[in-house]
Amino acid sequence: MKVTGKIEKKGFGFGVWALVTADGTTYELKDPAAELKQEGIKVEIEGKIREDVMTMAMIGAVLEVESYKLKT
């Protein structure tokens, strides 16, 4: 699946990185690349939802990033 949105750091414990879409849907990023760990950048991410993974933050579906593009 492809999803476009903005990267946000959610403040749970050490914090988690999330992708928030224009309609407000939040995806928790699973092991994001260092380049994706920047508050406010716009990206298009291709990946898959991991229903077999649970997290402490539980802010939305867990999205495993397969590839990404920075948007301007």
Q: Is the pLDDT of residue 13 over 90?
A: no
Q: What CATH number does the domain containing 50 carry?
A: 2.40.50
Q: Is the pLDDT of residue 72 over 90?
A: no
Section 51-58 average pLDDT: 87
Q: Residue 58 is which amino acid?
A: M
* β-bridge mates for residue 62, sequence order: 28
pTM above 0.95, yes or no: no
Distances 45 to 12, 14, 20, 22, 34 between C-alpha atoms, Å: 23, 23, 11, 14, 14
Q: Is the pLDDT of residue 66 over 70?
A: yes
The residue segments making up the domain with residue 66 are: 2-71
What is the number of domains present in the chain? 1
Q: 12, 46 in Cβ contact below 8 A?
A: no
Residues 22-33: tens digit of each pLDDT: 999 999 999 999
Give the CA diameter of the chain. 33
Q: Is the pLDDT of residue 12 over 80?
A: no
